[in-house]
Amino acid sequence: GQQLNQSPQSMFIQEGEDVSMNCTSSSIFNTWLWYKQDPGEGPVLLIALYKAGELTSNGRLTAQFGITRKDSFLNISASIPSDVGIYFCAGHTIYNFNKFYFGSGTKLNVKP
């Protein structure tokens, strides 16, 4: 099946630092989504991207839909302790709008 390569797998950063993570696919994607999962809970949608080149912000979070439509990145600026969690990229290819694929996640740890 389709594989999404998400990196890095985990990050340990100091409060106040900026964070960047990215996702690449072998197929062209029509949608890129970024989710955050807190321990014991379901993923929560952070940002949705629907057009190549699109750059969207949500507070301290910024995500971009790559021009090639095979990649996306998420930046978090000035990290705070509550940013701790697992971040997932997700999306669907141009071949099937109903089938979703998720990356393996980036585990973020923030030291106060």
Q: Is 81 helix (H, G, I), strand (E, B) or coil?
A: helix
66: tokens are: 């790559």
Point out which span in 13-21, 54-62, 66-74, 94-102 binds another protein (CB under 8 A).
94-102
- By the rule CB under 8 A, 94 interacts with another protein: no
Which of 2, 7, 20, 56 is in the footprint of another protein by CB under 8 A?
Answer: 2
Size of the site for another protein (CB under 8 A): 27
Which of 11, 19, 21, 33 is in the footprint of another protein by CB under 8 A?
Answer: 33
Residue 20 and residue 30: Cα distance in Å, rounded? Answer: 22
- By the rule CB under 8 A, 51 interacts with another protein: no
- By the rule CB under 8 A, 41 interacts with another protein: yes
Residue 95 and residue 79: Cα distance in Å, rounded? Answer: 36
Computed on alpha carbons and rounded to an integer, the radius of gyration of the chain in Å comes to 13
58: tokens are: 């949500």
Query: Based on CB atoms, which residue is closest to another protein, 82 or 98?
Result: 98
